[in-house]
Amino acid sequence: MLIVIENLLPPEEVVQFRQQLDQAEWEAGSKTAGEVARFVKTNQQLPDEGELAVALGNHILRKLGNHPQFVSAALPKTIYPPKFNRYAEGGHYGIHVDSAVMQLPGQRDSLRTDLSATVFLSNPEDYEGGELVIEGKFGAQAVKLNAGDLVLYPSSSLHQVLPVTEGARVCSFFWIQSLVRDDAHRELLYDLDQSIQAIRVECGSQHSEVSRLTGIYHNLLRQWVEC
């Protein structure tokens, strides 16, 4: 399932991000691609260990932690420190699947990539092309969101970024190891939680069926969670 979270960053924060990112020194993305991906990746990335990437990444992580829809959809156990990329002048990333395991920077631990996320930091009218095309059960979907919006998709999906033929596409991207490994289980929990939240608004959180459904949610989560 592909989940869009609108306005993770409000417009004024996107402007602040872009002011800093547009002055940053970018490096060739092929430096960090795997053996296969190296031949299909022609974009630019911000050095991960740089002060700017760390500061902006931490800001995104704080936003994610306080975002109920993100937490419900991803059930995050570990989030990879957000990275930043820029596509311009025909830059693209051909079809690939993200690596299953990522070494966490500066740590011994690694992360299993259950979910991949992209936060758009350019408005769609500011560049031509650059769609993130994600292959799913129901075919390929082209994603091009407003600046500040996030898309979340299973890391097992084949995906690509189409060439940016005009302007620049700036994004943040990262991976999540979820407390619930199985995409189907995680989707059921997300759908159930969204329904409970809607019923809670309709009937009030004191309603006995809201309590029963919340209990079912937690009992399902207990079946599937990996801590």
Q: What is the DSSP string of 19-62?
A: HHHTTS--EEGGGG--TTGGGTEE-EE--TTSHHHHHHHHHHHH
Q: Which two tokens stand for residue 224?
A: 């599937």
Q: Work out how close the CB of 201 gets to Ni ion at its nearest, in angstroms, rounded to a whole number.
A: 36
Taking CB under 5 A as the rule, does residue 114 contact Ni ion?
Answer: no
Sole residue written with tokens 């002055």: 23
What's the closest the beta carbon of residue 144 comes to Ni ion, in angstroms? Answer: 16
Q: How far is the CB of 102 from Ni ion (least distance, A)?
A: 11
- Span from 38-46, 69-77, 97-105, 187-195 in contact with Ni ion (CB under 5 A): 97-105
Please, which residue, 145 or 196, has the CB nearer to Ni ion?
145
Closest contact distance (angstroms) between CB of 226 and Ni ion is 24
Residue 114 structure tokens: 């259950």
| Residues 14 and 147: beta-carbon distance below 8 Å | yes
Cβ neighbourhood burial of 31 (10 Å; 0-12, 13-18, 19+): exposed
Q: According to the binding rule CB under 5 A, does residue 98 interact with Ni ion? A: yes
Q: Which is nearer to Ni ion, 112 or 200 (CB)?
A: 112
Among the listed ranges 63-71, 72-80, 96-104, 126-134, the one in contact with Ni ion (CB under 5 A) is: 96-104
List contacts with Ni ion (CB under 5 A): 98
